[in-house]
Structure 1
Amino acid sequence: MLNFLNPQYRYIQSRHNIPYTQADVQGEVSVTSIVIPCTGADFIEEAELSALFASRYAKQAEEIVIVSDQPVALFRNLPPKARVVTLDVPQREGSYRYKQIYRSRLIKIQAPLYAATDAILMIDSDLNLLKMPDIRPKDGHIYSSFRQGKMAAKLEGASAGNKPAYYRNSIRPYLVDHVNSAFLVATRKSWQRLCPLWQALFNDTWHLMDDTQPPTDQLPLALLLDMLDFKTVNLGDWVNWPVSKRIGGQEAAIPKEVIGAHGGFPLSEWQKYLQSADTPLLFKGQDYTRKVRYLTDAEKKQ
């Protein structure tokens, strides 16, 4: 059936990619917890840096929570209001090629549950907050930026027996714009509904699918937002501004409009920003970012 004749498709579209300027998606309580998932000792430094930026530029936050598989004692440079929660997350079987990435996604999916307040922002450990807008979530909504590309493309090339059947009649995974999970805001009640099902769908999806590609948390999230009938709210591109893609390989200052600066290596360049936000910075290009973030376990050891 053509999409415009499908009432469920029209219904989902009406609840998808809603601008935050629309008054009926704005709640009462501003973000009070910032959660930063961090997996592996090699990502501790960037999580500490992300926490430092959150402490400096999101002053209204009551707490900053790093959720990790690493011991608290290894986090030696924490700003005020920051604490570490250590999770014991099981490994995938020995033959799986992306065990650390899989593990990192499991920690991320559970991380918001360890916040103590009712309005929670979760950001990736390589995202630095350069300001904090007044985002007030409502139950049954999730707030983010949007990226172009159908998440269902992750299913292409898989054999019929490996494709989870529950994606077949879903809608959001097949839309050309999808919620980007590097910057997500929701209420505590919403996270409590989302996280357990998100984890179950993630596990099932990537146990059925083979390991020819890194496991993504965004594919099951797109499906889950359909299942739970959530509204998805677009905060705009500035909350998740890709540093390496925009200015990587050339010396340039970070635009004043940026809210969340995603990526940006080496981390030492960010120390210059902390001294002066007007300083031109020289980051590596996006080819480097993808190379270091999506390695198989064997490639990481080389």
Structure 2
Amino acid sequence: MFKFLNSHYRHIRSRHNIPYTQPDAQGNVPVTSVVIPCTGADFIEEAQLCALFAERYAPDLQEIVIVSDQPAASFGTLPAKTRVVTLEVPLRDGDYRYKQIYRSRLIKLQAPLQARTDGILMIDSDLNLLKMPVINMHKGHLYSSFRQGKMIAKLSGAPTENIPAYYQHCVRPFIVDHVNGAFLAATRDTWKRICALWLTLFQDTWELMDDSQPPTDQLPLAALLDMLDIRTINLGDWMNWPVSKRIGGTEAVIPSEVIGAHGGFPLSEWQKYLHSPATPLLFKGQDYTRKVRYLTDAEKAK
């Protein structure tokens, strides 16, 4: 525990979870591109809805980019600002139980670089924008919301020889508050630095680890933010509001303050919102998302 008392820890902590309200957190690059990773045919409908919300409620965007392993024709008619980029990524070999999730992460970690503008926001396909995100960015900063949970816990119980050595020298994986990977904004130059190392660390980590849990992209993200000395800026809860956690199981109206609504199922409830944002909606509880989105390949095939 005493390693957290040294100057390196203090340096990282001073650059971690900085409120966006601080003047030096705000730059001059606005969000102009929204990138939506989407892997697998079963998530096409979700990405279509995500693009529709972005088009309707975030009018200042220059482009909406769906990055997928599926061909553009599979997405049908999309909003005018939307284009589909299809990436070729390998399927993991062997008996690994989470090949589909592993593949989806490979898509996600390359997705921001498919945007054409300088202000790039990447959101998960189950996050709908209900307002235009007003984020003015500095180079070398990553803008997100935060949630609780030490990322290093993902490695607990693993044999020492399977844990990459670089985690021992990082700080952010051990901090309880961490950036939520479902909503990440940065300048193009910053994404160029992040994506290459993110992909490398993700593959290195999950090639060594077993398949007792789904491979997460947030653990290597925490490590690379240390390695690249990136400042992480907290945009607040309204930017990435967990729908199922806050109102799941109870019919309720989504608060007008919400900018990004994350994880509301079934998708049919969102059609009611498109008709009228004041309509009470009934979403499933927070246990539903993990149940349907983190299945092994065998479970998905049933």
TM-score band w.r.t. shorter chain: over 0.9
Shift of the alpha carbon at 1:5?
Answer: 3.0
Shift of the alpha carbon at 1:77?
Answer: 3.3
Q: State the distance in 1 between where 2:201 and 2:71 align.
A: 28
Contact 1:3 1:10 in 2 (8 A): no
The residue correspondences of 1:227-266 to structure 2 (distance < 5 A) are 227-266=227-266
Shift of the alpha carbon at 1:235?
Answer: 0.2
Give the secondary-structure state (helix, strand or coil) at the position aligned to 1:181: strand
Contact 2:12 2:171 in 1 (8 A): yes
Contact 2:127 2:263 in 1 (8 A): yes
The residue correspondences of 1:142-221 to structure 2 (distance < 5 A) are 142-221=142-221
**Amino acid in the other structure paired with 1:35:** V
Shift of the alpha carbon at 1:219?
Answer: 0.2
2:144 maps to 1:116: no
TM-score if structure 2 supplies the norm length? 0.98
Q: State the distance in 2 between where 1:114 and 1:4 align.
A: 38
The residue correspondences of 1:1-302 to structure 2 (distance < 5 A) are 2=2, 5-302=5-302
Give the secondary-structure state (helix, strand or coil) at the position aligned to 1:73: helix
| Residue ranges of structure 2 left out of the alignment (5+ in a row) | none
Give the secondary-structure state (helix, strand or coil) at the position aligned to 2:219: helix
Q: C-alpha root-mean-square deviation of aligned residues, in Å?
A: 0.9
**Amino acid in the other structure paired with 1:163:** I
User: How many residue pairs are counted as aligned between the two chains?
Assistant: 302
Contact 1:36 1:66 in 2 (8 A): yes
**Amino acid in the other structure paired with 2:9:** Y
Shift of the alpha carbon at 1:94?
Answer: 3.0
Q: Note the alpha carbon deviations across 1:37-64, whole angstroms, 9 max, x for none.
A: 0000000000010000000111000000
Q: Which runs of 4+ in 1 moved over 2 A?
A: 1-5
Q: State the distance in 2 between where 1:5 and 1:55 align.
A: 47
**Amino acid in the other structure paired with 1:260:** G
**Amino acid in the other structure paired with 2:183:** F
**Amino acid in the other structure paired with 1:259:** I
TM-score if structure 1 supplies the norm length? 0.98
**Amino acid in the other structure paired with 2:81:** K
Q: State the distance in 2 between where 1:228 and 1:22 align.
A: 22
Give the secondary-structure state (helix, strand or coil) at the position aligned to 2:67: strand
Q: Note the alpha carbon deviations across 1:180-204, whole angstroms, 9 max, x for none.
A: 1100000000001110110000000
Give the secondary-structure state (helix, strand or coil) at the position aligned to 1:102: helix
Contact 2:133 2:239 in 1 (8 A): no
Q: State the distance in 1 between where 2:55 and 2:20 align.
A: 24
| Residue ranges of structure 1 left out of the alignment (5+ in a row) | none
Q: State the distance in 1 between where 2:144 and 2:254 align.
A: 21
Q: Note the alpha carbon deviations across 1:245-298, whole angstroms, 9 max, x for none.
A: 111111111011111100111101000000000000011111111100100000
**Cα pair distance change 1:90/1:295, threshold 3 Å:** same
Contact 2:29 2:187 in 1 (8 A): no
Give the secondary-structure state (helix, strand or coil) at the position aligned to 1:105: helix
Q: Note the alpha carbon deviations across 1:218-255, whole angstroms, 9 max, x for none.
A: 00000000000000000001111111111111111101
